Amino acid sequence: MGGMEFEQFARWDREHVWHAFTQMQEYEPWLIVRAEGCELIDVQGRRWLDGVSSLWCNIHGHNHPKLNRAICDQLEKVAHVTSLGMGNLPAAELAYRLVQLAPPGLEHVFFSGDGACAVEAALKIAFQYWQQCHPSRPSKTRFVAFEDAYHGDTLGAASVGGVARFHALFRPLLFEVFRLPVPDSYRRPKGMSLEEAAGWYLEQLERLLRSRHQEIAAVIIEPLMQCAAGMVRHPPGFLAAARRITQQYDVLLIADEVAVGFGRTGTMFACQQENVAPDILCLGKGLTAGYLPMSATLVTDDIYQAFLGDYGSGRMFYHGHTYAGNPLAAAVALASLEIFEEEHVLEQLPPKCRRLEEHLARIAELPVVGDVRQCGLMAGIELVKDKVTGEPFAWHERVGWQVCQRAKQRNVFLRPLGSVIVIMPPLAIRHEQIDQLMEAVYEAIEEFTRQTAL
Ligand SMILES: *Cc1c(COP(=O)(O)O)cnc(C)c1O
């Protein structure tokens, strides 16, 4: 294709495509035509190391032959089957496999299309469960969520979300939730050690549930790391303790593993790092290895049972999406799980994580870096005005963006969150690519510091 034709596509893209989370007034078309492994290839043939896994969903690299084949094979059979009163083979097998892999007790799988939809389903299931369980507890209608939580952009998911910059404007449309302080290991309550802070965060949860559990249907949490909050790491043990407290007060625990599931933290699911089995588990992003939209809400048998009854009882779950349980998506998700086994993906992670850790240790020394925090093969690098006090940059200073622009000049694609540089490469990234990625980040931060004379 010649340059002229590309210009036309760029014009169409700029004039007609409304991009997500993008100020269109300043948007410059950047069109990807192909990808190989961890590299994206744009219309000019330039290669970009994908440092954020196509926004956190790619696992085994792009254009993986086995994943490609799984879709093509299924395509020859049937591309879509409704999940309303009907099923298909790949979705049935995928549900079975997910139940095998998930923490114990999660036995039933409700499929949707996107992460936000998995969360919407989880919230409605939790709500309806208390209306219908034996004996029913109709007063348990409210949700507990954390500050800076991110669970997607539909209205239910945004209601439990707490990122002010994304959600504040829509507040009048959202339902009220109980909000707990974000269990942040870096920005702790004044004067507290990490251990003291961990205790204090748990105390807030315990106190709330003790006084209001009669009204509370569920607590929703992003296990271990609140990614969209700016890669905020919870104190070790927080998740396990939250599980104990929710159990003690008869409140459901919804684990939103849309971002942290599928090997990202080093185990298949983040909950497994603290031996936690939630009542409801939300999966998305990596479920299809970043190939097709699909998400899943897994629930315990106890929850599922509350929805059973004869037709006239009206106990069914009145909720669903047209493309839920799509066989093409299920086929590629199954192939992704096979790759986890065949290519020993989890077994190969520890040395990669150590490599990342070494680079992060070097980056942590830079004067503008306030904190680095890693969880498996993902990390956040927080840039601050003052390394000693941790005084943050204002979001409109766009310091993360400025660093990522400089990484882009070094052929690395990154997308920051405010002042936090997000490192989330495909699990398939090779050691030398980790070096390339992190060298670019180091140089970009250094250059940014020099040029802005901080
Ligand atoms: C991305 C994300 C979602 C939303 O998923 P979408 O597929 O973008 O709707 C929900 N929860 C968490 C934790 C996420 O990171």
Ligand 1 atom closest to the CA of 157, numbered from 1 = 10
- What pLDDT score does 3 carry? 62
- What pLDDT score does 168 carry? 83
* CATH among 3.40.50.920, 3.40.50.970, 3.60.15.10, 3.40.640.10 for 69-342: 3.40.640.10
Question: For 34-57, how does the pLDDT look when each residue is reduced to its tens digit (9 = 90+)?
Answer: 999 999 999 999 999 999 999 999
382 touches ligand 1 (CB under 6 Å): no
- What pLDDT score does 423 carry? 98
CA angle at residue 434 from 152 to 69, to 5 degrees? 65
- What pLDDT score does 449 carry? 95
Do the Cβ atoms of 237 and 274 come closer than 8 Å?
yes
DSSP 367-379: TTEEEEEE-SS-E
Give SS3 for 452: coil
Expressed in angstroms and rounded, the spacing between residue 154 Cα and the centre of ligand 1 is 10
- Alpha carbon of residue 197 to chain centroid: 25
Q: Where are the domains of the chain?
A: 31-59+346-451, 69-342
399 touches ligand 1 (CB under 6 Å): no
Write the residue with the smallest CA distance to atom 15 of ligand 1: 259
Alpha carbon distance 427, 285 (integer Å): 13
Q: How confident is the model at residue 165 (pLDDT cuts 50, 70, 90)?
A: confident
120 touches ligand 1 (CB under 6 Å): no
- What pLDDT score does 41 carry? 98
369-374 and 379-383 beta bridge pairing: antiparallel
Phi and psi at residue 404, to the nearest 5°: -65, -30
- 352 contact partners, CB below 8 Å, separation of at least 6: 377, 427, 429, 431, 434
Residue 431: CA count within 13 A, CB half-sphere? 8
- What pLDDT score does 164 carry? 82
Whether the pLDDT of residue 188 is over 60: the answer is: yes
39 touches ligand 1 (CB under 6 Å): no
Mean of pLDDT values over 186-208:
97
Residue that has been written with the tokens 């603290």 in this structure = 274
Mean of pLDDT values over 340-364:
98
DSSP 179-213: EE----SSSPSTT--HHHHHHHHHHHHHHHHHHHG
Q: Does domain 31-59+346-451 have CATH number 3.30.530.20?
A: no
**Share of residues in the chain with pLDDT > 70 (%):** 99
Mean of pLDDT values over 343-371:
98
Q: Is 132 left (phi over 0), alpha (psi -120 to 50) or beta?
A: alpha
Averaged confidence pLDDT in the chain: 97
Instruction: Please report, for residues 2, 141, 226, 330, 364, the alpha-carbon distance to residue 398 in angstroms, rounded to integers and kept in the order given.
Output: 35, 39, 20, 39, 20
116 touches ligand 1 (CB under 6 Å): yes
Q: Judge residue 307's burial from the number of C-beta atoms within 10 Å of its C-beta, 0-12 exposed, 13-18 middle, 19 or more buried.
A: middle
Do the Cβ atoms of 247 and 281 come closer than 8 Å?
no
Alpha carbon distance 77, 88 (integer Å): 11
Helices (H), 249-378: 301-305, 327-342, 349-364
Expressed in angstroms and rounded, the spacing between residue 114 Cα and the centre of ligand 1 is 7
148 touches ligand 1 (CB under 6 Å): no
Question: For 376-422, how does the pLDDT look when each residue is reduced to its tens digit (9 = 90+)?
Answer: 999 999 999 999 999 999 988 999 999 999 999 999 999 999 999 99
Give SS3 for 256: strand
For residue 219, the surrounding DSSP H or E stretch is: strand 216-221
